[in-house]
Amino acid sequence: MALKTRFTQAFGLDHPVALAPMAGAAGGALAAAVARAGGLGLLGGGYGDADWTFAEWDRAGDAPIGVGFITWKLTPAVLEAALMRGPRAVMLSFGDPAPFAPAIHAAAVPLVCQCQTLDHARAALDVGARVLVAQGAEAGGHGGARGTLTLVPEIADLLAARSPQTLLLAAGGIADGRGLAAALMLGADGALIGTRFWAAAEALVPEGFHGAAVAAGGDATVRGRTPDAARLLDWPEPFTIRTLRSGFTDRWSDDTGALRANAAARAAWAQAQAQGDAANGTPVAGESIGLIHDILPAAALLHRISSEAEQRLRCSP
């Protein structure tokens, strides 16, 4: 039984899985590993740091990868430079895609829009997105309030009624074959997976963070604005960030204004992040962390997830 979907057919993939373009973690090696193993590898362009993005793109070599950006921080110049590299896709998240969609379409590159609400989905359709990602609140990193289990089928119904040709990926809480199979049963054409690949050997994640993740359960994550305050980032409403709970989040989650004013505390946090100190930093991970018990190469993870999903779907009535 081959796990073929409209998503695999449209992008020429072996597995209906895309790598979430996690800022700072999904570098060139990880995106290339997913792409070469038959998934859609998306580089984490994040806040649009051109030097980091294109240095990591170079590290992907000749692997056919795409790129994702945080929309409210993206600039036309960075997008133009990315499009010149012929990406497999450009994914936009957390903001209005309308200012950037024409350039992406003109370059004949598929536009992927991540959505946390039905209004986000409608806006993505208005600008001609080829793929929508329905991101549930279980996801690591920034997101909204809706749960994956209900958001995915609701957006699937919207697409069926308004734009049947548009593809749908599910995101949030998917870390194994059970999650991928469930996403397909809910009406998605595949899954966008972040946390499971964040815990891959190629991810740009300190060893200490990986160790903390393997030891953690899903109850150990929290949503809030503490890491954004530590970075002096003004994230727009309604987006908050999910991370592992730590001494740092316990101390500052209810006092982010004071954190912004405390340069020493912010510097200590930055050092903890760089060193992989999970007790004093904020590892970015979703609720699926409780399903992760090892750190493996991305290709092995991708094949395992796809194989498990095939087995689950083969046994379904």
User: pLDDT tens digits, residue range 78-134?
Assistant: 999 999 999 999 999 999 999 999 999 999 999 999 999 999 999 999 999 999 999
- Show the domain range for 274: 218-282
**58 & 117 share domain:** yes
Q: Which of 31, 2, 1, 9 is nearest to 192 (CA)?
A: 31
**140 & 84 share domain:** yes
Place of tokens 């997101």: 143
What's the whole-number average pLDDT of the chain? 97
The pLDDT value recorded for residue 9 is 98
The answer as to whether 1 is a domain residue is: no
The pLDDT value recorded for residue 12 is 97
pLDDT at 286 over 80: yes
- Sheet architecture: strand order including 221-224: 141-143, 240-244, 221-224
Residue type at 310 in one-letter notation: E
DSSP state of 12: T
**270 & 305 share domain:** no
The answer as to whether 210 is a domain residue is: no
Helices (H), 216-297: 226-230, 247-252, 256-261, 263-275
**19 & 107 share domain:** yes
The pLDDT value recorded for residue 317 is 58
Give the mean pLDDT of 155-179.
98
**67 & 23 share domain:** yes
User: pLDDT tens digits, residue range 219-250?
Assistant: 999 999 999 999 999 999 999 999 999 999 99
For residue 122, the domain's CATH number is 3.20.20.70
Q: Which two tokens stand for residue 317?
A: 């009535």
**139 & 194 share domain:** yes
**How large a percentage of the chain has pLDDT more than 70?**
99
The answer as to whether 251 is a domain residue is: yes
Half-sphere exposure for 116 (CA within 13 Å, toward CB): 19
- What b/e string do you get for 50-75 counting C-beta neighbours within 10 Å, with b at 16 or more? eebbbebbeebeebbbbbbbbbbbbe
Give the mean pLDDT of 255-280.
97
Identify whether 110 is preceded by a cis peptide bond (ω within 30 of 0).
Answer: no
Could you tell me which residues come within 8 angstroms of residue 275 by beta carbon, excluding any fewer than 6 positions away?
206, 208, 281
Alpha-carbon gap, residue 151 to 94, rounded angstroms: 16
How would residue 315 be classed by pLDDT, with cut points 50, 70 and 90? confident
**38 & 180 share domain:** yes
SS3 296: strand
**27 & 159 share domain:** yes
The answer as to whether 172 is a domain residue is: yes
The pLDDT value recorded for residue 1 is 52
User: pLDDT tens digits, residue range 10-39?
Assistant: 999 999 999 999 999 999 999 999 999 999
How would residue 194 be classed by pLDDT, with cut points 50, 70 and 90? very high
Alpha-carbon gap, residue 118 to 114, rounded angstroms: 11
The answer as to whether 211 is a domain residue is: no
The answer as to whether 79 is a domain residue is: yes
- DSSP bridge pairs for 91: 68, 112
Domain count, the chain: 2
Give the mean pLDDT of 268-279.
97
Q: What is the 3-state secondary structure (H, E, C) of 184-228?
A: HHCCCCEEEECHHHHCECCCCCCHHHHHHHHHCCHHHEEEECHHH
**271 & 297 share domain:** no
How would residue 316 be classed by pLDDT, with cut points 50, 70 and 90? low
The pLDDT value recorded for residue 314 is 87
User: pLDDT tens digits, residue range 69-90?
Assistant: 999 999 999 999 999 999 999 9
- Predicted TM-score (pTM) of the model is 0.96
**70 & 105 share domain:** yes
Alpha-carbon gap, residue 79 to 164, rounded angstroms: 28
Place of tokens 């890491």: 227
Alpha-carbon gap, residue 141 to 241, rounded angstroms: 5
**140 & 171 share domain:** yes
- Sheet architecture: strand order including 131-135: 17-19, 190-193, 167-171, 131-135, 111-115, 90-93, 66-70, 42-46
**How large a percentage of the chain has pLDDT more than 90?**
98
**58 & 174 share domain:** yes
The answer as to whether 244 is a domain residue is: yes
Alpha-carbon gap, residue 90 to 111, rounded angstroms: 5
The answer as to whether 213 is a domain residue is: no
